[in-house]
Amino acid sequence: MKKILVIVLVIGLLGSYLVPMFMKDSANTEAPFQFGFSDNLAIKYGDVVSIPVETNGEAKNVTITFGGKVIQKFAQPKEKLSILLDSKKYQIGAYEIEMHGVDQQGQYFTEIRNVRILSDVTPEKWKLEIVRRLPHNESSFTQGLAFSGDQLYEGTGDPNQTGASLVAKVNLNTGEIGQKIGLDATRFGEGITILGDQIFQLTWLNHKCLVYNKESLELLKEFDYSTEGWGICTDGKVLFMSDGSERIYVRNPKNFDIIKTIEVYTNEFAIPRLNELEFVNGLIYANIWTSNEIAVIDPLSGKVLALIDATNLVNEGKGNGEVLNGIAYHAKSNKMYMTGKFWPTMFEVKVLK
């Protein structure tokens, strides 16, 4: 009994010593500063906002960064501070605002919040008028369409993994597939575009861009990239590539290096699942996967200028096929063509603004 009593006394003494010690350590680990707003702050491009910062008087110094760059430093900061964030200095998109610093005892702390800069443009609502109906090969899982002169090219995918991905010359008026080059079943073809005498074809998960001679369809070279491959287009100088997110990568056609990245936003939210891309009169037209809408994007800023409702095409043209996908612009005639995956019809369309 005495032995048990001694053990209880020892445990009690240890507890009376250790508990305050741990409580003291816990108190000391409380951050001496924090942002005065909850996560996911959204601001509109062009706005200048005041970001509140709260401290408990224990901070020795604080550094604040936005998008990885220092925007403010404080030494012995007061209890309540604020910093001004001018959104015009940044591209629209998602950023992290971080606060780093030490307390009076030299302990390091960090605080991170998410900030999104939205577009200052409310997208217009456009529609499509069907001008002409043309046959389209129902076996083509359309991933990309592009013209070179009067010749239409199509790139297809391979959802059944049978080696059906290809790049082909297509007869616009009959839908017949002419000269073509196929991919093996390990490669899933995605978007295509034509720059000069070369065709660029993305692959979905293989991280490869395949480059062909547009006349012979001979495979010339391959480029690597780290993301998924979805859509691709060109302004005649650089390449624009989507990866299924809201990001578009501007790439150098000579080596496929990233020149810059833009994020695609409306005045309310990001537009993810950007699929097939086409460059039309200075703007990027993007199919939005699983949607009947097409985003019209400013390639410099990523702002969505308009959303095109293509429901009438889907209702008439889908048949037993899958989603709307595929935009081709014939610059000489100023005509636009659209179709979908496994659709029996391709449409010449007119955009109604």
pLDDT at 83: 92
Q: Which CA distances in Å does 234 have to 113, 147, 194, 276, 304?
A: 35, 12, 7, 12, 18
Instruction: Give the whole-angstrom CA distance, residue 258 versus residue 166.
Output: 26
For the stretch 176-234, pLDDT in tens is 999 999 999 999 999 999 999 999 999 999 999 999 999 999 999 999 999 999 999 99
Identify the DSSP state of 91.
-
CB-based burial of residue 255 (10 Å sphere; 0-12 exposed, 13-18 middle, 19+ buried)? exposed
Q: Which residues pair with 263 in a beta bridge?
A: 247
SS3 258: strand
For the stretch 311-324, pLDDT in tens is 999 999 999 999 99
For the stretch 150-180, pLDDT in tens is 999 999 999 999 999 999 999 999 999 999 9
CB-based burial of residue 198 (10 Å sphere; 0-12 exposed, 13-18 middle, 19+ buried)? middle
What distance separates the 2 farthest-apart alpha carbons in the chain? 103
Given a cut of 90, whether residue 271 has pLDDT beyond it is yes
Residue 103's identity, in one-letter code, is D
CATH architecture for the domain at 124-352: 6 Propeller (2.120)
User: Do 142 and 343 touch, CB atoms closer than 8 A?
Assistant: yes
Given a cut of 80, whether residue 2 has pLDDT beyond it is no
- Mean pLDDT to the nearest integer, 267-273: 98
For the stretch 122-142, pLDDT in tens is 999 999 999 999 999 999 999
pTM score of the predicted model: 0.90
For the stretch 331-351, pLDDT in tens is 999 999 999 999 999 999 999
Give helix then strand counts, H and E, for the chain. Answer: 2, 28
* CATH 2.60.40.10, domain 32-118, yes or no: yes
Q: How far apart are the first and last CA of the chain?
A: 92
Please report, for the chain, the start and end positions of each structural domain, with discontinuous segments joined by +: 32-118, 124-352
Given a cut of 50, whether residue 15 has pLDDT beyond it is no
- Mean pLDDT to the nearest integer, 33-49: 91
pLDDT at 26: 36
